[in-house]
Amino acid sequence: MAKALNPKFYPVILAGGRGTRFWPLSRKRLAKQLLPLNTDKSMIQETVDRLLPIADPSQFWVITNGDLQNSIVRQLRKVPSKQIIAEPLGRNTAPAIGLAAFILLHRDPDAILGLFPSDHVIGNETRFLREIQSAIQLAAKGENIVVLGMKPTRAETGYGYIEAGEKVSSRLLRVHRFTEKPNAERAAEFVSAGNYFWNSGMFVWGASTLAAALREHLPETAPYLEEIAADYGTRRFEKTFAKLYPKCENISVDFAILEPRSAKGEHHSNLYCIPAEFGWNDLGSWSALWEHRAGTEGQKAAANVLKGKGNFVLDSLGNYVHAPGKFIATVGVNDLVVVETDDALLITTRDRAQDVGKIVKYLDEKKLKALV
């Protein structure tokens, strides 16, 4: 796709997560977003690359943590290192994106922010950019918040849901309501209803729009973020950041802004959903990576995904095995996840892969720091 750079568009990439469900490959200092899970590039490198046709590297901002900051700086050499900001303490997505909004508001009152997770897979990048450009145009027209929604394929309890309201056009819907991570019964109801979308975590909005929303919905946190942002670029910044950021409310942007904003009603909230159809996977677990790697639905039931140095398969179906440099042999086993590193070995089943994060919690509790 030919470059069509938008000087008012600033991608903000959230990259502070630990990716605990990808243990033992994902570690505190080399988290999921820094791993080449999809191609030979890391997830965060892919995230930046797919946005480069519409944003110069100098327009990117990354919010991460101190454990990952240096590695991200090394991986994203074209992004200014001063724009790769490490939180002194994790406070969830609302303070993170809010800080970026207030910093950019000082620099460019007309700034349009795009919020992007650092670890998603996009199938059709040309279509993805088309949807983002549509969202940018809408966000620039007023106090509009635009979310990219994904048509659900199953009753997933790990995602938030968007209930779509009135159709504005063939590619744009008003948002009636956001619902964070429902139980299995409600998720099934949402999928059956037909007017619900998965919340992709990708949003576009003006910096001034987000700043106003923060002042309205997080009135105690917003002044801290404004004060921190005012010191950005000065010698006082790190000290102010460390002092005030821990005082910010620990809350997601969904709970902090989107849910209370949607409660105003779809004709008063200025919330819009673009139903996106570009192939999306958030790679939330080893089983999700198997699903992504296994190919089309017709192939998935029988597919084995084996990452090693040669392999032998006998009477084995649906396994994911990661043991680079080793010959892999599977005999008479189905639906396993096996991941080997120099110091750890994970063995689980695909349907229990969501529980891998509990291992990291155990290791944290036992203070086995070398393994996390």
In order of their start, the domains of the chain are 9-281 (3.90.550.10), 286-371 (no CATH)
Contact 22, 282 (CB under 8 A): no
pLDDT at 297 over 70: no
| Predicted local confidence at residue 296, as pLDDT | 45
Q: pLDDT-derived band of residue 298, with 50, 70 and 90 as boundaries?
A: very low
pTM score of the predicted model? 0.93
Question: Which has the minimum average pLDDT: 38-47, 149-158, 331-340?
Answer: 149-158
Pairwise CA distance, residues 282 & 32, whole Å: 11
For 23-80, what is each residue's pLDDT tens digit?
Answer: 999 999 999 999 999 999 999 999 999 999 999 999 999 999 999 999 999 999 999 9
Residue from 80, 58, 78, 62 nearest 6 by CA = 58
| Predicted local confidence at residue 1, as pLDDT | 54
250 backbone dihedrals φ, ψ, rounded to 5°? -85, 95
What are the helix (H) ranges across 93-142? 93-107, 125-139
| Predicted local confidence at residue 72, as pLDDT | 98
Average pLDDT, the chain: 94
